Protein backbone atom coordinates (compact mmCIF):
# COMPACT_ATOMS: atom_id res chain seq x y z
CA UNK A 1 0.00 0.00 0.00
CA UNK A 2 1.31 3.46 -0.92
CA UNK A 3 1.46 6.28 1.57
CA UNK A 4 -1.71 8.34 1.37
CA UNK A 5 -0.11 11.50 2.76
CA UNK A 6 1.47 13.81 0.21
CA UNK A 7 4.34 16.04 1.27
CA UNK A 8 3.21 19.50 2.35
CA UNK A 9 4.37 22.19 -0.11
CA UNK A 10 5.97 25.24 1.47
CA UNK A 11 5.88 28.85 0.30
CA UNK A 12 7.93 31.79 1.55
CA UNK A 13 6.68 35.25 0.54
CA UNK A 14 8.69 38.48 0.30
CA UNK A 15 6.99 41.88 0.37
CA UNK A 16 8.01 45.51 0.90
CA UNK A 17 4.77 47.44 1.21
CA UNK A 18 1.05 47.09 1.64
CA UNK A 19 0.97 43.34 1.14
CA UNK A 20 -2.46 43.01 -0.48
CA UNK A 21 -1.06 40.29 -2.75
CA UNK A 22 0.35 38.49 0.29
CA UNK A 23 -3.09 38.60 1.92
CA UNK A 24 -4.74 37.34 -1.26
CA UNK A 25 -2.31 34.42 -1.56
CA UNK A 26 -2.63 33.53 2.13
CA UNK A 27 -6.44 33.49 1.81
CA UNK A 28 -6.31 31.46 -1.42
CA UNK A 29 -4.29 28.69 0.27
CA UNK A 30 -6.05 28.89 3.65
CA UNK A 31 -8.42 26.05 2.82
CA UNK A 32 -5.85 23.94 0.97
CA UNK A 33 -4.21 21.43 3.29
CA UNK A 34 -1.37 20.58 0.95
CA UNK A 35 0.16 24.08 0.87
CA UNK A 36 1.59 26.02 3.79
CA UNK A 37 2.72 29.66 3.96
CA UNK A 38 5.84 29.06 6.05
CA UNK A 39 7.00 32.64 6.42
CA UNK A 40 6.60 36.20 5.15
CA UNK A 41 9.77 38.29 4.99
CA UNK A 42 9.91 42.06 4.63
CA UNK A 43 12.77 44.51 4.29
CA UNK A 44 10.57 47.37 5.49
CA UNK A 45 9.85 47.69 9.23
CA UNK A 46 7.02 50.14 8.43
CA UNK A 47 5.32 47.97 5.81
CA UNK A 48 1.59 47.40 6.27
CA UNK A 49 2.17 43.76 5.33
CA UNK A 50 3.37 43.25 8.94
CA UNK A 51 -0.05 44.24 10.31
CA UNK A 52 -1.84 42.13 7.67
CA UNK A 53 0.21 39.09 8.69
CA UNK A 54 -0.59 39.69 12.35
CA UNK A 55 -4.30 39.69 11.51
CA UNK A 56 -3.95 36.63 9.28
CA UNK A 57 -1.94 34.70 11.86
CA UNK A 58 1.05 34.30 9.54
CA UNK A 59 4.62 34.69 10.78
CA UNK A 60 6.26 37.83 9.37
CA UNK A 61 9.87 38.82 9.96
CA UNK A 62 11.79 41.98 9.12
CA UNK A 63 15.34 41.73 7.78
CA UNK A 64 17.95 44.33 6.87
CA UNK A 65 20.27 44.82 3.92
CA UNK A 66 23.14 43.26 5.89
CA UNK A 67 21.31 39.98 6.60
CA UNK A 68 20.22 39.86 2.96
CA UNK A 69 23.51 40.77 1.24
CA UNK A 70 26.38 40.28 3.69
CA UNK A 71 25.94 37.83 6.54
CA UNK A 72 23.98 35.25 4.56
CA UNK A 73 21.48 34.83 7.39
CA UNK A 74 18.42 35.23 5.13
CA UNK A 75 19.83 32.56 2.82
CA UNK A 76 20.49 30.30 5.81
CA UNK A 77 16.96 30.75 7.08
CA UNK A 78 15.55 29.94 3.64
CA UNK A 79 17.71 26.84 3.39
CA UNK A 80 16.43 25.76 6.80
CA UNK A 81 12.83 26.06 5.62
CA UNK A 82 13.58 24.57 2.16
CA UNK A 83 10.54 26.16 0.48
CA UNK A 84 9.15 24.67 -2.71
CA UNK A 85 8.55 28.20 -3.98
CA UNK A 86 9.71 31.69 -3.00
CA UNK A 87 7.23 34.33 -4.11
CA UNK A 88 8.11 38.02 -4.43
CA UNK A 89 4.80 39.84 -3.96
CA UNK A 90 5.56 43.54 -4.16
CA UNK A 91 9.20 43.13 -3.07
CA UNK A 92 11.50 45.95 -4.14
CA UNK A 93 15.06 44.81 -3.49
CA UNK A 94 17.20 42.93 -5.98
CA UNK A 95 17.65 39.32 -4.84
CA UNK A 96 21.35 38.51 -4.22
CA UNK A 97 23.04 36.05 -6.57
CA UNK A 98 23.64 33.45 -3.80
CA UNK A 99 19.91 33.23 -3.08
CA UNK A 100 19.01 33.02 -6.79
CA UNK A 101 21.59 30.23 -7.21
CA UNK A 102 20.37 28.32 -4.17
CA UNK A 103 16.79 28.17 -5.51
CA UNK A 104 17.00 27.70 -9.28
CA UNK A 105 13.62 28.36 -10.93
CA UNK A 106 12.02 28.36 -7.53
CA UNK A 107 11.77 32.14 -7.09
CA UNK A 108 9.05 34.07 -8.91
CA UNK A 109 8.10 37.73 -9.06
CA UNK A 110 5.05 39.71 -10.10
CA UNK A 111 5.56 42.93 -12.00
CA UNK A 112 2.70 45.39 -12.65
CA UNK A 113 3.42 45.94 -16.37
CA UNK A 114 4.02 44.03 -19.57
CA UNK A 115 7.76 43.37 -19.34
CA UNK A 116 10.16 44.20 -20.91
CA UNK A 117 8.24 47.47 -20.93
CA UNK A 118 8.33 49.53 -17.71
CA UNK A 119 10.75 47.25 -15.87
CA UNK A 120 14.05 47.74 -14.06
CA UNK A 121 15.27 49.53 -10.95
CA UNK A 122 12.89 52.23 -9.69
CA UNK A 123 10.00 50.87 -11.74
CA UNK A 124 7.54 49.76 -9.10
CA UNK A 125 4.01 50.47 -8.00
CA UNK A 126 2.59 53.85 -8.99
CA UNK A 127 5.79 54.87 -10.83
CA UNK A 128 4.98 52.15 -13.37
CA UNK A 129 1.34 53.18 -13.76
CA UNK A 130 2.20 56.88 -14.04
CA UNK A 131 4.67 56.10 -16.85
CA UNK A 132 2.01 54.02 -18.61
CA UNK A 133 -0.47 56.93 -18.39
CA UNK A 134 2.15 59.53 -19.42
CA UNK A 135 3.01 57.48 -22.51
CA UNK A 136 -0.69 57.21 -23.44
CA UNK A 137 -0.56 53.44 -23.59
CA UNK A 138 -3.89 51.86 -24.53
CA UNK A 139 -3.00 48.58 -22.85
CA UNK A 140 -0.99 47.43 -19.85
CA UNK A 141 -0.96 44.29 -17.72
CA UNK A 142 0.95 42.04 -15.37
CA UNK A 143 3.98 39.81 -15.79
CA UNK A 144 4.70 36.83 -13.57
CA UNK A 145 8.25 35.63 -14.15
CA UNK A 146 11.15 33.63 -12.74
CA UNK A 147 13.71 35.68 -10.86
CA UNK A 148 17.30 35.90 -11.99
CA UNK A 149 20.14 38.19 -10.90
CA UNK A 150 18.77 41.24 -12.72
CA UNK A 151 15.66 43.30 -12.10
CA UNK A 152 12.62 42.05 -14.04
CA UNK A 153 14.50 39.90 -16.56
CA UNK A 154 13.84 36.22 -15.84
CA UNK A 155 11.74 33.95 -18.07
CA UNK A 156 8.09 34.92 -18.30
CA UNK A 157 5.53 32.49 -16.86
CA UNK A 158 2.35 34.49 -17.54
CA UNK A 159 1.32 37.86 -18.94
CA UNK A 160 -2.24 39.13 -19.01
CA UNK A 161 -3.48 42.50 -20.15
CA UNK A 162 -6.08 45.16 -19.40
CA UNK A 163 -7.18 48.27 -21.26
CA UNK A 164 -6.04 51.76 -20.33
CA UNK A 165 -8.73 54.36 -21.11
CA UNK A 166 -7.68 57.92 -22.07
CA UNK A 167 -9.25 59.27 -18.86
CA UNK A 168 -7.57 56.73 -16.55
CA UNK A 169 -5.29 58.11 -13.81
CA UNK A 170 -2.33 56.15 -12.44
CA UNK A 171 -4.57 55.16 -9.50
CA UNK A 172 -7.22 53.82 -11.89
CA UNK A 173 -4.57 51.74 -13.65
CA UNK A 174 -3.29 50.50 -10.28
CA UNK A 175 -6.79 49.26 -9.39
CA UNK A 176 -7.12 47.37 -12.69
CA UNK A 177 -3.67 45.86 -12.25
CA UNK A 178 -4.39 44.75 -8.69
CA UNK A 179 -7.55 43.00 -9.89
CA UNK A 180 -5.51 41.09 -12.49
CA UNK A 181 -2.92 40.22 -9.84
CA UNK A 182 -5.52 38.94 -7.37
CA UNK A 183 -7.11 36.78 -10.04
CA UNK A 184 -3.99 35.22 -11.55
CA UNK A 185 -1.11 35.25 -9.07
CA UNK A 186 -2.37 32.59 -6.60
CA UNK A 187 -3.35 30.28 -9.47
CA UNK A 188 0.11 30.56 -11.03
CA UNK A 189 1.71 29.86 -7.63
CA UNK A 190 -0.51 26.80 -7.24
CA UNK A 191 0.24 25.54 -10.76
CA UNK A 192 3.98 25.68 -10.05
CA UNK A 193 3.60 23.74 -6.79
CA UNK A 194 1.38 20.86 -7.80
C1 LIG B 1 1.95 45.06 -6.94
O2 LIG B 1 1.19 45.74 -7.89
C3 LIG B 1 3.15 44.42 -7.58
O4 LIG B 1 2.95 44.02 -8.90
C5 LIG B 1 4.16 45.54 -7.53
O6 LIG B 1 3.95 46.14 -6.28
C7 LIG B 1 2.57 46.05 -5.94
C8 LIG B 1 2.48 45.57 -4.51
O9 LIG B 1 1.16 45.70 -4.04
N10 LIG B 1 5.49 45.06 -7.68
C11 LIG B 1 6.45 45.79 -8.24
O12 LIG B 1 6.28 46.92 -8.65
C13 LIG B 1 7.80 45.09 -8.36
N14 LIG B 1 8.68 45.82 -9.20
P15 LIG B 1 0.74 44.99 -2.68
O16 LIG B 1 1.82 45.33 -1.64
O17 LIG B 1 -0.57 45.57 -2.32
O18 LIG B 1 0.68 43.51 -2.93
Q: What CATH number is associated with residue 15?
A: 3.40.50.170
pLDDT in tens, 139-183: 999 999 999 988 889 999 999 999 999 999 999 999 999 999 999
Q: How many domains does the chain have?
A: 1
Mean pLDDT over 50-55 rounds to 98
Query: Could you tell me if residue 105 is inside a domain?
Result: yes
pLDDT of residue 50: 98
Question: Residue 152: what pLDDT?
Answer: 87
pLDDT at 194: 82
Identify whether 124 is part of a domain.
yes
Full 3-state SS string of the chain:
CCCCCCCCEEEEEEECCCCHHHHHHHHHHHCCCCEEEEEEEECCCCCCHHHHHHHHCCCEEECCHHHHHCCCHHHHHHHHHCCCEEEECCCCCCCCHHHHHHCCCCEEEEECCCCCCCCCCCCCHHHHHHHHHHCCCCEEEEEEEECCCCCCCCCEEEEEEEECCCCCCHHHHHHHHHHHHHHHHHHHHHHHHC
**3 domain-assigned:** no
Pocket of ligand 1 (CB under 6 A): 15, 17-21, 89-90, 110-112, 124-125, 128, 177-178, 181
pLDDT single digits (tens) 75-129: 999 999 999 999 999 999 999 999 999 999 999 999 999 999 999 888 999 999 9
Centre of ligand 1 from the C-alpha of residue 153, in Å: 16
Please report whether residue 2 resides in a domain: no
Which neighbouring-strand residues pair with 163?
A: 139
Query: Is residue 180, in this structure, part of any structural domain at all?
Result: yes
Atom 8, ligand 1: residue with shortest CA distance: 90
What is the residue range of 146's domain? 9-193
Domain contains 4? no
2-25 pLDDT per residue, tens:
455 668 999 999 999 999 999 999
Amino acid sequence: MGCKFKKMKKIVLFASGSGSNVENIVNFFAEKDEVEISLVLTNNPKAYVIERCRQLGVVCQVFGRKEFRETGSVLEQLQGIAPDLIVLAGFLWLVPREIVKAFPRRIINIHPALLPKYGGKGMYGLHVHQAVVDNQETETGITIHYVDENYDEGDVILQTTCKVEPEDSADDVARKIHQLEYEHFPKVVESLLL
